[in-house]
Every structure is written in structure tokens, then in C-alpha cells.
Chain A
């Protein structure tokens, strides 16, 4: 069941909304990303497929691979309203309705011609770099793709931070896998000899871009927040979580973005939404979990229509945590830093660590509460979120709310239900704030 949400007449048409330079730049980057992959058969460039969490783009670039990220493709298909048919196609092929819809979108897309957003077919990958980081499904996903493509598949096992810390044993294990398995196999498939100085250069560039990303994310501590760290955050993390980390283009993108944010701060402006600048900031939220992509704008609109801005989100840390504990790729420890990057991604952290992080975000960003968007097909995020919600409420005294949807399966997006819950939640925050002011006045 879904509800059609109409745009009020006084709203500008989203297509007419002015675009910032960073938005235009990013759109061009995404177009180049897909062109690079789909042009590979002509250009002769080899293609490596890997995952966003644990994405070793700096290393992949050392072997001149184009980096194809299947989650990014699934997201694109979600945003373009194509994933629903792909998911159902995969289910027709025998995949269970219970499992991850990213996987089924990918499998369905393959069955339906494997077309990239630019309309050209994706080439078969030359290598699958199974960076098994923070998500069990990755392991099966690439076994499924290996079955189709029959290409070299390289496993990089990232141990889980079960006790909330990275141990020497974990780091050594990963470095050894990189040295003795991942790099030699990438050399063999690509025909390019590994050059550690090239890796160091890539890492240096990554760290530079990461500095500016963190500046942008932390700008949300200001009032009003100049960014939305969840919906807007999806765009901000695109280049650094994707195939651009470690490139000059990423550095330029984040420098441009930073300037724009500075300008918004100076002007006292809030985030830019698909319908232009957001109005008055009424609610500051921290979010946990991925968004829904099939109804992304509709979902976002439920927030900005109410003056709700997300000031920090866990999802924007799924491809790397740079703000919370200051991680930066370190060119002086090239393999160790890649290991630590993988180990530290959000979904590879223990539940208590994730709770700590959300509590700290609420306090540091002076948020009014926590909103969890629980994703039906993502157990890595979702299992345990109800306990997380209670813990965060208990420790912060701030209200939390829980909505459910899915990543790219439109059947699990119920606009009316979500809208109702959000409206109730905003009322709850109002009451809490009113209660606090009465108490304050009485004191």
C-alpha cells in the first residue's frame, strides 16, 4: 500500500531547483564512472568488482582496474525505479523473498541485460575482490556472481570487531592476506606489477579528501545545520565511498563542497533539498540505518516539509568512519592502513560501539533524538536495532523512533505508515522540548 504525496503548488518544481557546483561536479563524476566501466571492452581496461564497505580503491587503482561497485548499481536502479522488477526477476529465478534486495537487484539486472545507467551493458568483471567486511551477504553475493562470471575471485576476510577494538592479530591477518594473496592475484589478473609508492600516493590523496569530508560532516554541529547528513549525506559520500577515493577528482570535489558549505554557514542557510534550500530548522535528528532508495525523495520530503534535518547518520559511515575516531588513510603504513580502514567501517563495529557512536553524535550535534530506519533486507544493520534504540534513549534521555522500509524493494515502502510515525515522532519531540522548557522555567 502506498500513498501519493502531492507537491504543494507554492513549491518550485524540483527540476528547476538551482544546483550547486558540487552537485553538477558529482553528476559528471558518476557519468564518467559508468562510462569508464562500460567502455572497458573498447578501452581495454580491466574491471574489478568490489563492495563499498571495505572498498580498497587505492589498491585497485594501482593495477589500473576500473572499479565496479554492485551496491552503487543497485542504488542507481532503486533511484531510477528499476530495482523492483529486477528483484522480482531474481525471485523468479529461485532466490528467496527473505534475502538481501541489493543482491537480487544485481542478479535481476544481469538477467535483464546488465545495463548500466548510461544504457550500455556492463562488461563482465575480470576479477571479483570479495572484501568480506561488515556484511555476511557479501560472501554469498560474490559466490553467486562467480557462478555467473567464472572469473578470479579474491577473498579478503575482515575480522569483526566483536570486542570493540582492533587487535594486532586482526591487523596482521589482513596485512598478510593483502601481501600474500590479494596483491599477487591482482597483479596476475591485471598484468600490472604492484608499486607501493603508487599506493602511497593514492592514500595521500585519500587522506586529503577525507579531511574535507569530515569538515563537511562536522559542519552539521552548527545551527542551523548547513547540511543534511543522511539524505544529503548520500551525495556527499558518493565519491569517497565509490571509485574516486584516492584521486585528484575527489580532492577537487570535496574542496568545492567545503567552499559551498562555508558559504552556507556564512549566510546562515540550512541544507539544500531537491526543492531548493530548506526552510527553518525545527528538528535535529541522528539517524541509524540506510535510507530507502526506491522512494528516496518522497522519504526525504517527509523530513524537510517538517523542518527536520539529519545532523549525523550512521549510514554515511558505512564505507568508512572518518569523523568519529579520526581515522585517515596513512601513506606511511600503506597495507596496515587499508586493514584498519576495513576493520573500522561502521557495520564491522560491535553493537556496543555503534550505540556509543550514536549517543556521542546525539550529544555532540545537539540532536533532538534518534530515528532508526530499519531495513528489511539488511541484517547487518537491522538485527539488534530495537535494543540500540532503547540504549540510546536511556543514555541520552532523548526520544527515539523506528520506521521500517527496504533498500531497493519498493514493495516494502509504505509512505503512509512512515509519514504517520514521523509525524507522531515530531510531536513527541515537541512535547519533550516543551516539558524541558517548563522544567527550566520552574527551576
Chain B
């Protein structure tokens, strides 16, 4: 049995490899293989997988990539993720990618879809719209047609067939992966001292670049290994960290929160891995099932409209209760419209529910962690010292 250390070491190598060697090797292993990149927050990876292609999650360049070209495309008041993504594109790191999907998160990623079309005309680039109307008959039908267009676009541009049977099989494969991801999260919620937040992040992040089957095996191995190991429990408080759904925080930021005295018991990192909350049906109309899952069984986040006013932010309140959290940390990327516009509303909801919370901003290349450690540490102390519990 592999140890968690061995598994996380492999994950760390994948995380640090901005040349995406694993995905390149997968592609080179068999002639005709295709790779389709996607950006946060969510794309139905099942459709890519059903065409025998590799879905590749692109979440920017992190704090190790020197951004030179990318900065020439963006003003100083635009977030970091598009500029480092452009850097990856211009620098040739993504030269093996046959398609790129840009989900509807915000105007920056939306416009990046058009930039990609202009800059990389040979790559299949698609803005992937997600409905903001959640009625089956309205948003559902629209979304099914969008999925169908995506399927046809991939078939035409990548020269593959995406059959209904293959789709149902892929849904089953991803159901299994999501189930394992949920188990990892549940494990951390239960015993956060054994599942460090940075380890869990690296583990889930590996799923962005590995074939899903390999990733599921990795998750199984980790779950088996972690249970067999022991780590001391610290006197940390339990927090949820939110706002991290698009531009990624540096790994050091995640570690810093924990080092400052907070166990992260839930977060919204890499939402694609668990965007759909339940298993998607593998019977009947595959695209219809994906649409149903999106409309009725998916995560709440800042880029998604909340149709019911009284429900606004309640997902966070429920998460605090469900995961036994003692506070919420809003960590938002600088210049992130969805996170920063949403934050005051979410804070109001938490304040009304007497849930302690703090907020700070970061960038994917933030280097100074001391202020974050101080802020999170003070927050943890205040919870431990003055919390009603």
C-alpha cells in the first residue's frame, strides 16, 4: 500500500509541472488522442471523456510561473488568472491542447474565450454558457441544446464520436470519481488533523490533469492510506474558506491558514470536482440527466444566480452547521467580480446567523503570507477565546 506521503508527492509533482507532462504523455501514448482544456468553475467533463479525450483543467499559472507576455494583455486592475493562462498559451505550455472551454464565470473569462479564438485560431475554443434560469422547461431545454452543441463541436473539431452509450458510461466513471472526492472531503471534515488542507487540495488538483480512472484510483489509495496513519490533533478551530472558486490561492496560503490555527473543514476550491452534488443518472437521456443535475443538484457559488431571496447565502450557513465549522474565511482573489460583489451579501447572512467571519484578498502569485497568518491567527484566537461554544 502506498503511503499518503508518496501519493501527495506525486500530486505535488503534477501541481508543479506547468508543462503538463502527464497529459502530454497520455496524448502521445496513442495516435489520434485529443486533449481538451477547461477553465473554472464547471464543465461537464463527461462529454469530453465520452469522446475518448482527456479533459484538462487549466487554473492559471500559480506562483511559480513568471508572467511576462500575459501582463502585456491586461490592465493592472484585472485579476491574475487570465494573464497567467495567456502566458501558458503564448509560452507553448498548452501547445498540445486541441480545444479550450471557457465556462460562464465572469466577464474576464468570458472575454478570454474571444481572445483565445483570436490568438489560437487552430484550437477549438468555446464559451460554455450555463443557464441562470433553473426551470427544466426553460433553462433545462436551453442547457441541453448547449450540451448538444458542445458535443457536436467537439466531434467535428476533434474528429471523434460521442455516442449516448459512451456518455452514460462516462457519467458512471465521473459519478465514481465524485463519490470518492466527497469521501475525501468527508474524511477531512471528520478528522482534519489527519488530512491537511494542502494535501487534500493537491490530491483533488491532480484530478485536473490525470485521466479520471487514474485519479479515482489515487483517491482510493489515499483514503486507505490516511486511515492507517496517525497524526496528532491540534487545538485548532474549524473554518470554512470560501471565494477560492476560480483563481487559485498559492499553496502557501492554504498552509498558512492551517498553520495559523484553523482546520479547513470545507472550501470551494476546484469546484469542478464536486460541482454536481449527487450521482447523475446513468439511465435514459444522458444530456438530460446532466442538465437535471446542473439545475437541481449542483453547488451554489457566486457566479450563479440565487432566484430565491431568502435562500441567498444560506448554503454557507448550512455548511457551517453540517461541517461543524466555527467561522468562515472569505478569501477572494483581487479584482474578482463574482467573489467581491457577493461577499457583502454573504457576510450579512453570516452576521445575521452569528457566524464569525473575516475577509482578505489574495492573488495566485501572492508571496507574503505573514499578514494572512496574522489575520487568520487572530480570527482563530478570537473564536477559541470568545466563542459562545
Write the residues of chain A forming the contact surface with B, with a CB cutoff of 8 angstroms.
Answer: 93-96, 98-100, 103, 130, 132, 135-137, 139-141, 143-144, 146-147, 150, 153, 155, 157, 159-160, 162-163, 167, 169-170, 172-173, 176-177, 180-181, 350-355, 374, 376-377, 379-380, 382-387, 391, 404
Say whether B163 faces chain A, with CB atoms less than 8 Å apart: no
Least CB separation from A142: chain B residue: B305
Bound: A176/B140 CA distance, A: 11
- CB contacts (< 8 Å) of A385 on chain B: these are 75
Check B133–A181 contact: CB distance below 8 A: yes
Instruction: Show 21 A/B contacts (Cβ-Cβ < 8 Å), sorted by A.
Output: A94-B343, A94-B347, A96-B343, A98-B340, A99-B337, A100-B341, A103-B341, A136-B338, A141-B341, A147-B312, A153-B309, A176-B137, A176-B138, A176-B141, A351-B115, A354-B114, A376-B77, A379-B107, A382-B77, A383-B78, A384-B112
Q: Which of B106, B138, B139, B335 contacts A98 (CB 8 A)?
A: B335
Tell me how far the C-beta of B54 lies from the nearest C-beta in chain A, rounded to whole angstroms.
Answer: 23
Q: Nearest Cβ distance between residue B288 and chain A, in whole angstroms?
A: 15
Closest chain A residue to B303, Cβ basis: A136
B75-100 vs A: 1/0 string, CB under 8 Å? 10110001000000000000000000
Cross-chain contact A96 with B340 (CB below 8 angstroms): yes
For the complex, give the distance between the alpha carbons of A385 and B361 in Å. 25
Q: A94-B347, A141-B341, A386-B73 are in contact. List 19 more A-B contacts (CB 8 A).
A: A94-B344, A95-B340, A95-B341, A98-B77, A143-B345, A144-B341, A155-B132, A157-B139, A169-B145, A173-B141, A350-B113, A353-B114, A377-B77, A379-B111, A383-B74, A383-B82, A384-B73, A387-B73, A391-B118
User: Known contacts being A155-B305, A155-B307, A157-B132, is A386 close to B138, with CB within 8 Å?
Assistant: no
Query: Of B40-48, B123-131, B172-180, B364-372, which binds chain A?
Result: B123-131
| CB of B307, distance to nearest CB on chain A (Å) | 7
Cβ–Cβ contact B110 & A146, under 8 A: no
Is the Cβ of B305 less than 8 Å from the Cβ of A136? no
Interface size class of B (residues with CB under 8 A): 35 or more
Taken together as a complex, chains A and B put the C-alpha atoms of A372 and B271 apart, in Å, by 36
Q: Is the CB of A379 within 8 A of B133?
A: no
Contact assessment for B104 and A160 in the assembled complex, using a CB-CB cutoff below 8 Å = yes
A181 vs B142: C-alpha distance when bound (angstroms): 15
> Is B341's CB under 8 angstroms from A384's CB?
no
B287 to chain A, nearest CB (A): 13
B358 located at the interface, meaning its Cβ lies under 8 Å from any Cβ of chain A in the complex:
no
Give complex CA distance A176, B131 in Å.
13
Residue among A146, A153, A377, A384 making CB contact with B111, cutoff 8 Å: A384
Q: How far is the CA of A385 from the CA of B334 in the complex (A)?
A: 20
Q: Which residues of B contact A (CB under 8 A)?
A: 72-75, 77-78, 82, 102, 104, 106-108, 110-115, 117-119, 126-129, 131-133, 135, 137-139, 141-142, 145-146, 149, 302-303, 305-307, 309, 312, 332, 334-338, 340-345, 347-348, 361
Query: Across the two chains, which residue of chain B brings its CB closest to A150?
Result: B309
Residues of B within 8 A of A353 (CB): 114
Residue of B nearest to A94 (CB): B344
- The answer to whether A140 touches B338 (Cβ under 8 A) is yes
Chain A residues contacting B361 (CB-CB under 8 Å) are 96, 98
Contacts of A384 in B (CB 8 A): 73, 111-112, 114-115
In angstroms, Cα B133 to Cα A132, docked, is 11
Q: Is the CB of A169 within 8 A of B149?
A: yes
Compute how far the CA of A169 lies from the CA of B138 in the bound complex, rounded to whole angstroms.
Answer: 11
The residue that A162 contacts in the complex, of B78, B108, B129, B309, with Cβ under 8 A, is: B129
Residue of A nearest to B144 (CB): A169
Residues of A within 8 A of B305 (CB): 130, 132, 139, 143, 155, 157
Chain A residue contacts of B113, Cβ below 8 A: 162, 350-351
In the bound complex, CA of A173 to CA of B146 (Å): 11
List chain A residues, Cβ under 8 A from B348: 147
Expressed in whole angstroms, the minimum distance between the Cβ of A421 and any Cβ of chain B is 14
Complex interface: chain B residues within 8 A of A162 (CB): 102, 110, 113-114, 126-129
Find chain A residues with CB under 8 A from B138 CB: 173, 176-177, 180-181
In the complex, the answer to whether B72 meets A386 with C-beta atoms within 8 Å is yes
Which residues of the other chain, A, contact B108 by a CB distance below 8 angstroms? 379, 383
Complex Cα spacing A411 to B145, Å: 45
Given A162-B126, A181-B138, do A147 and B309 touch, yes or no (CB 8 Å)? yes
Q: How far apart are the CA atoms of A119 and B348 in the complex, in Å? A: 30
- In whole angstroms, what is the CA distance A373 to B146 when docked? 34
What are the residues of chain A within 8 A of B114 when measuring CB–CB? 162, 350-354, 384
Residue of B with least CB distance to A130:
B305
